[in-house]
Amino acid sequence: MSIQKISKTRKRSSGSSRPENWSRAMNQQEGELVREKTYLTQQAKTEILQVLSFLENFEEEMDGLLEISAPNPYVKMSTYLVKRHLEAKAVTPTSLIGASGVPYATASRRMREMIDNGLIEQRPRTSSGRSYSLHPSADMLEAWTQFSSRVRRMAAQSFGSADLRSGTQDYYFGGSYLEAQTIQPPQVLLEPLKLSGDLRVLVHGDPTFMVMHGLKRQFEQVVGCSIQQRAFSIDRLHEEAVKNAHRVTSRYDLIALDLPWLGEFAENGYLLPLDEVLDVERLQPSDFHTAGWQAAHWGGKPYGVPSQTTPELLFYRKDLLAEAGLEPPLTTDALLKAAARLNDPVQGRYGIAWNAARGTALGHTFMMTCADFGQPILDLPKQAGGYDASRLADGGYRPVIYSERALDAAEYLMALLQYSPPDILSMSWYERVRPFASGRVAMAYGYTLLAPYFEQNPACAAHGKVGFLPHPSGPNAQNIAPVGGYLLGIPANIAPERLEAAAEALIVFTSPEAQKLYVEHGSRTNPRYSVGADPEVRRLSPIFEAVDAMSWRDELQFWPRPPIPEINDIIRICGEECHDMLRGVKTPKAALQMAQDRADRLLREAGKL
């Protein structure tokens, strides 16, 4: 089976034996018609849910008006089915009959009539086909879309207001059910994904992907098939993703990549360029945080979709700084002074925690600390807001590890040691945040994805007392929040017959509806402006408003970890040499000189120098 670009309407592929763009003008009129019937916009879903809520309230009022009434099973089953569909909740024949309001035998006949008339679709829930779920057909959803619009227009004509979303009108149209600006739950696909076996996904074992795993059943209802998710630590994830790329056929339909790995996977042909296999506009690119979306590109092409955008911030205890009469630190000098003031080993409290474990963990810290002092790890050209990492695919770059500003960064890390916990040299991603949450540490560098450790544990000392800042900056440098997180991409060696389903699943898992669902169940990462602006999301944590503000101020930057193919090895080199420096085995100058020499040799052997 050939691989072709998947249009907005999920057409079957045919034609050439490799990915190629379809003409957007071809069959445009037919495509628009089909899309209207198979894909509901966010506005349409909101409108339908508001009208459904209004009808439920209205029916309750009518039932109380007259003692004698008779339910309409067609309407009651239809409203129940559509509402559950838009909320991505399963509907069985038994539950639908129970919602009808009429005797079992009558409801069974009415349900069969609706199935026979193409209003209800049945989808097998098991391989045997003996159990099935019920879903509204495209015709039913189209009817509800048109009906909802008509109800709004009639209400405007009757009650004299054209603005049905303002003021008291919200009461009549479900203001108590949902707010006009809120994002609704994921929508069940009208056609389940056509796959042989499970949808297979390879991810990182972090809190956000674990939230996705916890929502597995709900997303199986959305996509119409079983989902199998494998999770690994960061180093093992890289190892498995590379191993998978060398298999004849990928074991996975979607894979998660740490942002810096993109160049390696794109350059080596491990991923499919997304603009060749789906209509990128369906991803709503303008809704992603700018830095996160730019980081998904290599050579001007998108190779993944931001699944998590999780900048590394400074977490600080607002109460402890206030008690000490300290302002939140915006510079590295101010942070050192605050750390010294808050450091109290006798009482078992330390000033600061950070990634200092040997290898990958410390390598990331060093690169991002260099960025705090205005030094990229490569000789990148300057641009407004920092440095330009968008043209790395053109080559011509070299490492810049041994420099005056990099030496300032190394000495800053040495200074942090005296205010850090005694086990700092073994602390990595999670170990640095746990003591902060428990109250053993007053400040910590940490990714937003780790915020659940103190935001969702009311018993911990830091709960409700944490402030968020971009990285404090060194002299003559700007405050930045280095962007981390993961992309979801499609392996280049995916079986051709699985490509269309993988593309649809990619759109579902990275949609605003899915991202909001992750947040509601504990995630503190968010790649989209619309999700961060959702009032329900903002009420869950101050971190979303803080990150959005950083994005608008252009403080979210991905150049501190430039995604060149060799970056994983450079990170490891920096982490090994800097660890020797922190242990006192090497001076800062000697450690940086050795890291520079090793990185130069690496690029020479790769033919890049």
The pLDDT tens digits of the residues spanning 147-202 come to: 877 777 777 666 654 444 444 333 333 333 333 368 888 888 878 898 988 999 99
pLDDT at position 95, please? 87
User: Is-same-fold flag (199-309+485-540; 310-482+555-605)?
Assistant: yes
19 band by pLDDT with thresholds 50, 70 and 90: very low
Per-residue pLDDT for 63 more than 60?
yes
Per-residue pLDDT for 567 more than 80?
yes
133 band by pLDDT with thresholds 50, 70 and 90: confident
pLDDT at position 304, please? 97
Q: List the domain boundaries for the chain.
A: 42-161, 199-309+485-540, 310-482+555-605
User: Taking the alpha carbons of 297, 302, 306, 307 in that order, is the dihedral positive or negative?
Assistant: negative
Between 213 and 37, the more confident residue is: 213
Percent share of the chain, pLDDT over 90: 60
Range list of β-strands (E), 127-236: 132-136, 199-204, 227-232
For residue 504, give both structure tokens.
């649809």
pLDDT at position 604, please? 94
Contact 480, 331 (CB under 8 A): no
Question: Rounded CA gap, 104 and 106, in Å?
Answer: 6
CATH, domain 310-482+555-605, list 1.10.132.50, 3.40.80.10, 2.10.109.10, 3.40.190.10 = 3.40.190.10
pLDDT at position 43, please? 62
Per-residue pLDDT for 444 more than 50?
yes
364 band by pLDDT with thresholds 50, 70 and 90: very high
Tell which phi-psi region holds residue 272, choosing left (phi > 0), alpha (psi between -120 and 50) or beta.
beta
Which residues on neighbouring strands pair with residue 468, listed in sequence order? 315
pTM of this structure: 0.73
pLDDT at position 107, please? 87
Per-residue pLDDT for 540 more than 70?
yes
Least reliable range by pLDDT among 18-22, 188-192, 211-215, 601-605: 18-22
- In total, the chain counts a number of residues equal to 609
Per-residue pLDDT for 448 more than 90?
yes
Least reliable range by pLDDT among 25-39, 302-316, 502-516, 592-606: 25-39
Question: Rounded CA gap, 48 and 177, in Å?
Answer: 12
Contact 290, 416 (CB under 8 A): no
SS (H, E, C) 323-335: HCCCCCCCEHHHH
pLDDT at position 386, please? 87
Per-residue pLDDT for 32 more than 90?
no
Tens digit of each residue's pLDDT (9 = 90 or more) over 107-130: 899 999 999 998 998 887 666 667
Amino acid at 575: G
Per-residue pLDDT for 415 more than 50?
yes
Region 300-319 average pLDDT? 95
Percent share of the chain, pLDDT over 70: 85
pLDDT at position 149, please? 74
The kind and range of the H/E element at 564 are none
Q: What's the Cα-to-Cα distance from 473 to each of 374, 415, 476, 525, 546, rounded to whole Å?
A: 8, 15, 8, 23, 17
Region 219-226 average pLDDT? 92
Which residues lie below 8 Å from residue 167, measured CB to CB, with a gap of 6+? 161
For residue 299, give both structure tokens.
């050579």
Per-residue pLDDT for 1 more than 80?
no
Per-residue pLDDT for 13 more than 60?
no
Region 336-353 average pLDDT? 97
pLDDT at position 62, please? 65
pLDDT at position 129, please? 63
Between 11 and 342, the more confident residue is: 342
Per-residue pLDDT for 74 more than 90?
no
pLDDT at position 156, please? 67
Number of H helices, E strands in the chain: 25, 15
For residue 330, give both structure tokens.
């915006």
Phi, psi (5° rounding) for residue 82?
-65, -45
206 band by pLDDT with thresholds 50, 70 and 90: confident
pLDDT at position 10, please? 39
pLDDT at position 42, please? 57
311 band by pLDDT with thresholds 50, 70 and 90: very high
65 band by pLDDT with thresholds 50, 70 and 90: low
How is domain 199-309+485-540 classified at the architecture level of CATH? 3-Layer(aba) Sandwich (3.40)
**Residue 91 C-beta-side C-alpha neighbours within 13 Å:** 25
pLDDT at position 38, please? 41
Class of domain 42-161: mainly alpha
Which residues lie below 8 Å from residue 37, measured CB to CB, with a gap of 6+? 138, 139, 141, 142
pLDDT at position 26, please? 30
pLDDT at position 54, please? 76
Between 26 and 149, the more confident residue is: 149
Region 568-597 average pLDDT? 97
The pLDDT mean for the chain works out to 85
Region 209-236 average pLDDT? 92
pLDDT at position 298, please? 96
